[in-house]
Chains A and B, each alone.
Chain A
């Protein structure tokens, strides 16, 4: 009975449902990222969105209105653009500077975050309220989400799901047989940009509740868990979505409950670390189980031979 309470109560409804929708879209994208072996790109994208968030918050408050929901929306849009710029910069630096991907990722990640820190220090003096709003994106603050956020996130999540369903065959061929995809005439460039947009979209949706710093975990853990449970791509999508949503629910619940167990002052603890911790625990359990299963199977085979 108590669980339904979290979905109907107007105070809890926003954080819980919003975070679960976010987890749904990011875990679908995580499967694509995982099988492309580009898990660390998610880490870079989440950091490159940080200057965008601060710029968006500052611009929207100065130019448009002080309405909190619209400020958030503008922040997300500009963050989306800035993470796409980051992606383009990675490609440029790798190609022109002839450096390894690893170094390019690290360079772009820290440089964009540095720009974000610089912008944050500029608004810190003149707009302390804005600064605090921007800082809550660092580790995620789900507690202040409301029904409007649910609406936005539902639209974003629907877009991601639709792209995944419509482009399923394309993604499948692109992931597992790029040469075949080329031979039947898929535009590799277009597919890559669609995939990059999807990645940036899921990162941008997630930074409100998980935060800039820990968003990359949302793009790794669900897919890693799913890949240990099933070997089929379509099943992987479904399992990853379930795992992600479950982890998000557990994390938000924990972060809402924690203040009543450990009194930590007036402020609420950030949500992101708890979600990441729950997801990693799920992943660890599945990894252990798969390891044991393999061992038992090995034993059986061994006994048979003996």
Chain B
């Protein structure tokens, strides 16, 4: 029985607080988490890791590369799935539930193939950069969709990959996303200064003796890992919003990278709490189930646009504009 059944927006948070207290006191085991709590945990973990990576992605202007990665992870998953079936026939793997090792391989494969092919097309095919990126990821995505459809004999799976299905989240998914979050936090914590140099001053970075491109490749690998870990719950296209929107909102308030990282994590956590509570509210009051991931992204867009509106018409900015000319 779900304890959140019939709760409205405020009631959701009250119940969440009560259950959290009993969890801390030790009277609530981990396996008895309600589906709402699992969704909340998955969203919070995913938005922390994506917000951290996304800040660097936005700063380095690699968002469209992240977009192509988010499309090609599907091919990586399919290829790893086929290899698993070939080499471990008895495993009986489900394509949507693979272990962390397999997902790591898939992320590595798809990231490497995408970046290499885009580079080759640009270098040897003499195509403009945007056309080469676009050509590579659409082709690989089409290949992935065809393979998924033919292998699993299920035309619906492609749609699920794109839209995400957070209602079907289990404890194992939350664990996986948690692991990726730890990896992201430790990578950025360990290499923060190197990443800072590599993002803003590549020449300085190479002059003090490390390769800035290694840092960026590490970032891309982590990006594709966090996309792959949350594609089942959020979907490969909505993940991009979690990647770009929190850093953009954070950038309205600060110009410093460290505070931007913290703020974008905070924005991600707050809006994931809001969206889960709001979807429960809509379900209880209006009897209308809505997609949590869709709600999350819509909320984030509205927030950003509103803040942007107020910021561009704030007295400070108008004053600046008036005296600039």
Contacts and interface: CB of A to CB of B under 8 A. Distances in A.
Interface of A: 34, 37-40, 42-43, 47, 93, 96-97, 99-100, 102-103, 105-107, 109-111, 113-122, 124-125, 135, 138-139, 213-214, 216-217, 220-221, 223-224, 227-228, 258, 262-265, 267-270, 272-274, 276-277, 280, 283, 287, 291
B142 A214 contact: yes
Contacts of B248: 97, 99, 103, 107
A114 B296 contact: yes
Contacts, number: 198
Contacts of B252: 97
A37 B128 contact: yes
A277 B238 contact: no
The binding surface of chain B is classed by DSSP as helix
Nearest to B295: A118
Interface stretch (B58-66, B84-92, B192-200): B58-66
A118 B308 contact: no
A113 B163 CA distance: 9
B244 interface: yes
Contacts of A139: 145, 158-159
A269 B141 CA distance: 15
A269 to B, nearest CB: 5
B240 interface: yes
B46 interface: no
22 contacts: A37-B131, A39-B131, A40-B67, A96-B308, A103-B248, A106-B240, A106-B243, A111-B300, A117-B235, A117-B294, A120-B163, A125-B289, A216-B138, A221-B138, A224-B127, A227-B127, A270-B149, A273-B145, A274-B146, A276-B142, A280-B135, A291-B124
Given A110-B244, A217-B142, A291-B125, A269 B149 contact: yes
Contact of A105 (B64, B143, B243, B294): B64
Interface in B212-254: 235, 237-241, 243-245, 248, 251-252
Contacts of A258: 150
Interface residues of B, number: 62
A116 B294 CA distance: 8
B146 A273 contact: yes
Contact of A111 (B124, B251, B295, B297): B297
B288 interface: yes
B301 interface: yes
Interface in B44-100: 58, 61-64, 66-67, 71
Contacts of A43: 67, 134
A105 B240 CA distance: 11
A122 B300 CA distance: 19
Given A34-B131, A103-B58, A216-B138, A117 B297 contact: yes
B290 interface: yes
B291 to A, nearest CB: 4
B66 A34 contact: no
Contacts of B244: 103, 106-107, 110
A109 B308 contact: no
Given A103-B58, A106-B67, A287-B125, A138 B159 contact: yes
Contacts of B294: 114-121
Contacts of A115: 294, 297-298, 301
Contacts of A217: 134-135, 138-139, 142
